[in-house]
């Protein structure tokens, strides 16, 4: 009996050592970070650039806490259902400890719901709708939000350009455009300006003559149109053909190389807000220089861009949180992300505020002489 008890005890001891050994091995194994971005579908252009930025950052810093970092990449196919399924797969099957994604607010909202229930922290790359992080404990973003961007556009128009009369032309079927238009209008009026018209169109429209004719009659100094680049270019051309004298201003969805290609001469003088990075920006920070040089070395055939910088930033934001937490456990990473303050990045000093959104300056682009020119930054009032 004594021998039997001894054997049982030894077996139990061996089992406990085995379990402990497995736990230690897991702790010493790779840190898995999930990436869900639109690599196909209508948002693939932005998603692919952001993935290149993530991979560039991973190449620079492939380990954390002495452990290798494994990127697990899933295409959300520019679809909300696919985005939710991608996050579900990453947290349940791949056991990632954090998530990067995504380009597109509607995609991020779908993914964030799944991440929140799983209690796995996620950081959005360029999803600017306030609802992405609203009420979330585990979801964050590495970009500013639409109210902040809309207020910045109004501040630049009113204070820097000195315009007192504005109008709005928006896609009434697009939440992004509706939200930004509302925030611009509210801020411009608060600053003391007058909004003389608020006109609408629908996604896919090709003829804006009626709206533009009415805008010309109202004689605003500037028209804010938070369109996507294809429709925005059509509006520019038709406005100039009709002899419009007002300036046109858009938001970050216009920050695309095709804006100038499609707009041509009609893009002259066009302005839009963007994230605070440009390869030609004056007084470039050390972090922005590092990103620029690394991008040129890794992708010599492609121009550096804001989307790449956002993907690059998001990876380092998570790595910084893991380091400060001294842990790769999801709960610890989420806590550290919420405490991020004044982190130097390629897009300027970044702080995560109480609503889990990034606070940073807003960049301004102007098209001059057939070129896209970064003219400075503005902090909204």
Q: How much is the average pLDDT of 211-215?
A: 98
Q: Are residues 115 and 65 in the same domain?
A: yes
Q: Are residues 76 and 53 in the same domain?
A: yes
Q: Are residues 254 and 314 in the same domain?
A: no
Q: Are residues 119 and 219 in the same domain?
A: no
pLDDT value at position 10?
A: 39
Q: How much is the average pLDDT of 196-224?
A: 96
Binned at pLDDT 50, 70 and 90, residue 4 comes out as: very low
- Phi/psi zone of residue 314: left (φ > 0), alpha (ψ -120 to 50 degrees), beta? alpha
Query: What total number of domains does the chain contain?
Result: 2
Q: What percent of the chain has pLDDT over 90?
A: 77
Domain boundary at 221, 251, 274, which?
Answer: 274
Q: Are residues 246 and 311 in the same domain?
A: no
Q: Are residues 179 and 214 in the same domain?
A: yes
* Number of neighbours of residue 61 by Cβ within 10 angstroms: 13
Q: What CA–CA distances, in Å, run from 316 to 106, 121, 248, 300, 340?
A: 24, 14, 35, 22, 12
Q: Are residues 47 and 102 in the same domain?
A: yes
Q: Are residues 266 and 189 in the same domain?
A: yes
SS3 state of residue 141? strand
pLDDT value at position 258?
A: 83
Q: How much is the average pLDDT of 23-39?
A: 80
Q: Are residues 214 and 238 in the same domain?
A: yes
SS3 state of residue 348? strand
Binned at pLDDT 50, 70 and 90, residue 281 comes out as: confident
Contact present, 193 and 210 (Cβ < 8 Å): no
Does some domain include residue 54?
A: yes
Q: Are residues 84 and 136 in the same domain?
A: yes
pTM of the model: 0.80
What's the rounded Cα separation, in Å, for the pair 334 and 297? 33
Binned at pLDDT 50, 70 and 90, residue 203 comes out as: confident
pLDDT at 376 over 70: yes
User: Domain residues for 90?
Assistant: 31-144+285-360
Contact present, 220 and 167 (Cβ < 8 Å): yes
Q: Are residues 220 and 119 in the same domain?
A: no
Does some domain include residue 164?
A: yes
Tens digits of residue pLDDT in 310-358: 999 999 999 999 999 999 999 999 999 999 999 999 999 999 999 999 9
Q: What CA–CA distances, in Å, run from 295 to 138, 148, 289, 319?
A: 30, 28, 10, 19
- Across 19-28, 138-147, 233-242, least confident range: 19-28
Domain boundary at 274, 306, 339, which?
Answer: 274
Q: How much is the average pLDDT of 164-186?
A: 93
Q: How much is the average pLDDT of 143-165?
A: 95
Does some domain include residue 326?
A: yes
pLDDT value at position 19?
A: 38
Does some domain include residue 44?
A: yes
Domain boundary at 254, 274, 294, which?
Answer: 274
pLDDT value at position 36?
A: 98
Does some domain include residue 6?
A: no
- Which residues, including other chains, have CB under 8 Å from residue 152's CB and lie 6 or more apart? 273, 362, 378, 379, 380
Does some domain include residue 106?
A: yes
Q: Are residues 53 and 159 in the same domain?
A: no
pLDDT at 1 over 50: no
Does some domain include residue 9?
A: no
Contact present, 338 and 352 (Cβ < 8 Å): yes
pLDDT value at position 256?
A: 79
SS3 state of residue 273? strand
Binned at pLDDT 50, 70 and 90, residue 260 comes out as: confident
CATH of the domain at 184: 3.40.50.2300
Binned at pLDDT 50, 70 and 90, residue 17 comes out as: very low
Does some domain include residue 12?
A: no
Tens digits of residue pLDDT in 81-136: 999 999 999 999 999 999 999 999 999 999 999 999 999 999 999 998 899 999 99
pLDDT at 8 over 60: no
pLDDT at 7 over 60: no
Q: What CA–CA distances, in Å, run from 276 to 76, 229, 273?
A: 27, 19, 9
Binned at pLDDT 50, 70 and 90, residue 27 comes out as: low
Q: How much is the average pLDDT of 167-190?
A: 93
């Amino acid at each position: 009996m004594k021998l039997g008890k001894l054997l049982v005890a030894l077996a139990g001891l061996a089992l406990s050592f085995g379990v402990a050994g497995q736990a230690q091995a897991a702790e010493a194994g790779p840190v898995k970070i999930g990436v869900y971005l639109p690599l196909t579908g209508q948002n693939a252009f932005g998603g692919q650039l952001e993935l290149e930025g993530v991979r560039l950052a991973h190449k620079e810093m492939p380990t954390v806490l002495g452990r290798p970092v494994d990127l697990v990449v899933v295409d959300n196919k520019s679809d909300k259902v696919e985005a939710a399924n991608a996050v579900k797969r990453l947290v349940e099957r791949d056991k990632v400890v954090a998530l990067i994604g995504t380009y597109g607010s509607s995609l991020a909202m779908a993914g964030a719901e799944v991440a929140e229930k799983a209690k796995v922290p996620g950081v959005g790359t360029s999803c600017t709708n306030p609802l992405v992080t609203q009420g979330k404990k585990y979801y964050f973003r590495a970009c500013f939000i639409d109210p902040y961007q809309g207020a910045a556009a109004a501040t630049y128009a009113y204070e820097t350009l000195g315009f007192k009369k504005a109008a709005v032309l928006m896609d009434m079927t697009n939440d992004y455009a509706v939200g930004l238009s509302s925030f611009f209008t509210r801020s411009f009026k608060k600053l003391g300006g007058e909004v003389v018209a608020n006109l609408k169109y629908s996604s896919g429209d090709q003829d804006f003559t009626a709206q533009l004719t009415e805008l010309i009659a109202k004689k605003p100094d500037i028209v804010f149109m938070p369109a996507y680049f294809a429709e925005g270019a059509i509006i520019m051309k038709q406005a100039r053909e009709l002899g419009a004298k007002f300036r046109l201003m858009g938001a970050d969805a216009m920050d695309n190389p095709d804006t100038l290609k499609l707009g041509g001469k009609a893009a002259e003088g066009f302005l839009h807000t963007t994230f605070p990075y440009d390869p030609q920006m004056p007084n470039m920070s050390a972090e922005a220089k590092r990103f620029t040089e690394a991008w040129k070395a890794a992708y010599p055939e492609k121009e550096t861009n804001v989307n790449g910088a956002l993907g690059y930033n998001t990876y380092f934001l998570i790595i910084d949180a893991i380091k400060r937490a001294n842990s790769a456990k999801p709960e610890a990473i989420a806590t550290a992300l919420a405490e991020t303050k004044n982190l130097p990045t390629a897009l300027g000093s970044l702080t995560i505020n109480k609503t889990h959104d990034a606070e940073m300056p807003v960049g301004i682009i102007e098209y001059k002489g057939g070129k896209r020119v970064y003219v400075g930054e503005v902090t909204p009032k």
